[in-house]
Amino acid sequence: MIQVIAYLAFINVWAFDYEFVPKMSVRQAKKMRIRPKTLSFTILLGALAALPPLSIDMGLPAFPTISTSLKTSPGVVGLTLSLFMIGFAVAQLIFGPLSDRYGRRPILLVGCGLFVLAGAACATAPSINTLIAWRLVQGAGAGAGMVLTLAIVRDLFEGPAARAQLSYVNLVMGVAPMIAPTIGTWVLAIASWRTIYGTLAVGGLLVLLSVALGLSESLAARDLDAIKPHRLIKNYGRILSNRICLGYALVNALSFGCMFTYVAGSPLVLLNVLKVPTTTYGWLFASTAFGIMIGSFLNGQLSMRGVSSSRLLAFGLLTAVATSVALTIVSVSGAAQLITLMPLLILNTFCLGIISPNAIHAAIQPLPEIAGVAAGTVGFLQMSCGALASGLVALLYDGRTAIAMSSLMAVFAIASYAAYVGLARPAELRFTRASSD
């Protein structure tokens, strides 16, 4: 992540109309902003969205070391991940409305500041309880980056351009789970587990500086009543009662649940059942993350070429159903091997790169005046399905087969397609006909 942000800072200096002089007035400083339709802007949003997966995966190799260092059990160390996920999910419901009231940029600065502070506190935590508490705060800070990335895209882009931007952000974000465990392992090889959290704090600081120097306010008009209890309840009610918003939010969340079932189940299946070496597992996991990136890139290109979101969503959802059902058949039949599972898993994760940008765009598009609330709802539902998926796959795993992982992936994929054809798409078509009339 540090290399990516360093690259971002470098290209900001010369590529995007910065006025770089020894002494700048306030008016001049305001011109130091990254233009929305640039590679630098996409990388910045991608870096914000990459904070959560980096924070989750970089620390995984250090769990045994943390357990020994802080004299606690591996199960208690696992709470550092659980509390991070809780903070990440709940914070999106808070930061979304706050950004509708105060603007995207100030709330994003607060979130990044929390992330940096928590990373530094985790690096110096004297006990496991302190580490767990600060991981909760770190998750909340990462949640600001995720929800405000979605809101900013809604503020600045429309139609195919918005879907393409979300696709490219998804592509940049897809690099994070591929490199995070490796970075964590490298850090452990030369330093202690505390350095991992210190590295996250430094990376978060670089993101914070990039936001402070390079990001303009994207919200055109602030809602002064957005965080008043009655307005907040009303706004969330509008999202949940809007069949288009809710339907597409569920499509995205359930598809994410399908993917996260694989994320949580792959160590159990590949390492324990198929006895894949740890180094090989890293490459196999990276190949599926690469599938998401390819799907995101292809979706961005096709969106800009005028391919409709409905066609892309239908293709992605049907392919996800077909591959997950095929995985279940392979697992139940006893034919589960690397050669039979991996092509289907790569193709299945490839689908998320197509589904997610289109579903998220459709979910936050109808109500631009409360885009922060809409983005918070989308993010919360997504993480809730991810948490549900990881819990269920661990509960249902039989220790011998890939049936639990495959069948649960199929359940989530089918449910996502059902939400599309039964809720989201009919509501969208009715709205379109009513508007044309």
Same domain, 161 and 233: no
In the block, tokens 């195919």 appear at 160
CATH number at residue 53: 1.20.1250.20
* pLDDT tens digits, one per residue of 54-77: 888 788 778 788 888 888 887 788
Residue 336 DSSP code: -
Same domain, 218 and 232: no
Residues with Cβ within 8 Å of 175's Cβ and at least 6 positions away in sequence, in order, are 4, 50, 289, 293
The reported pLDDT for the residue numbered 351 is 93
Would you state the structure tokens that stand for residue 75, as one six-digit string?
């199960």
Same domain, 218 and 239: no
The reported pLDDT for the residue numbered 187 is 85
Same domain, 372 and 412: yes
CA 215 – CA 98 distance, rounded (Å): 18
CA 365 – CA 144 distance, rounded (Å): 19
Same domain, 237 and 166: no
* pLDDT tens digits, one per residue of 29-53: 344 478 887 888 888 888 888 888 8
Task: Please state whether 103 falls in left (phi above 0), alpha (psi between -120 and 50) or beta.
Answer: left
CA 398 – CA 324 distance, rounded (Å): 19
* pLDDT tens digits, one per residue of 98-149: 999 899 999 999 999 999 999 999 999 999 999 999 999 999 999 898 889 8
Q: What is the DSSP string of 257-289?
A: HHHHHHHHHHIIIIIIIS---HHHHHHHHHHHH
The reported pLDDT for the residue numbered 434 is 66
Mean pLDDT of the chain: 84
Same domain, 216 and 240: no
Q: What is the DSSP string of 403-417?
A: HHHHHHHHHHHHHHH
Domain end: 222, 255, 285, which one?
222
Same domain, 169 and 98: yes
The region of weakest confidence among 14-28, 146-160, 315-329, 355-369 is 14-28
The reported pLDDT for the residue numbered 21 is 32
Same domain, 298 and 202: no
Range of 10-24, 75-89, 336-350, 367-381 with top mean pLDDT: 336-350
The reported pLDDT for the residue numbered 223 is 81
The reported pLDDT for the residue numbered 272 is 82
Same domain, 347 and 330: yes
Number of domains composing the chain: 2
Q: What mean pLDDT is predicted for residues 284-303?
A: 87
Would you place residue 318 in the very low, low, confident or very high pLDDT band (cuts 50, 70, 90)?
very high
Same domain, 174 and 251: no
Coil, helix or strand for 72? coil
The percentage of the chain sitting over the pLDDT mark of 90, rounded to a whole number, equals 34
Domain end: 196, 222, 248, which one?
222
User: 325: buried, middle or exposed (CB in 10 Å: 19+, 13-18, 0-12)?
Assistant: middle
Would you place residue 7 in the very low, low, confident or very high pLDDT band (cuts 50, 70, 90)?
very low
Looking at per-residue pLDDT, the higher value among 189 and 320 belongs to 320
- Core vs surface per residue 158-180: b (16+ CB within 10 A) or e: eebbbbbbbbbbbbbbbbbbbbb
Q: Which amino acid would we find at residue 11? A: I
**pLDDT above 90 (res 293):** no
CA 276 – CA 160 distance, rounded (Å): 41
CA 198 – CA 123 distance, rounded (Å): 5
Domain end: 222, 248, 274, which one?
222
Residues with Cβ within 8 Å of 325's Cβ and at least 6 positions away in sequence, in order, are 410, 413, 414
* pLDDT tens digits, one per residue of 150-196: 889 888 888 888 888 888 887 777 677 667 777 887 888 888 889 99
CA 374 – CA 148 distance, rounded (Å): 11
CA 110 – CA 112 distance, rounded (Å): 6
Same domain, 3 and 123: yes
Would you state the structure tokens that stand for residue 224, as one six-digit string?
């002064």
Same domain, 152 and 234: no
Q: 93 is in which domain, residue-wise?
A: 1-222
- Chain CA centroid to CA 193, Å: 24
> CA dist 227 to 97, 153, 156, 331, 372, Å?
6, 22, 23, 49, 11
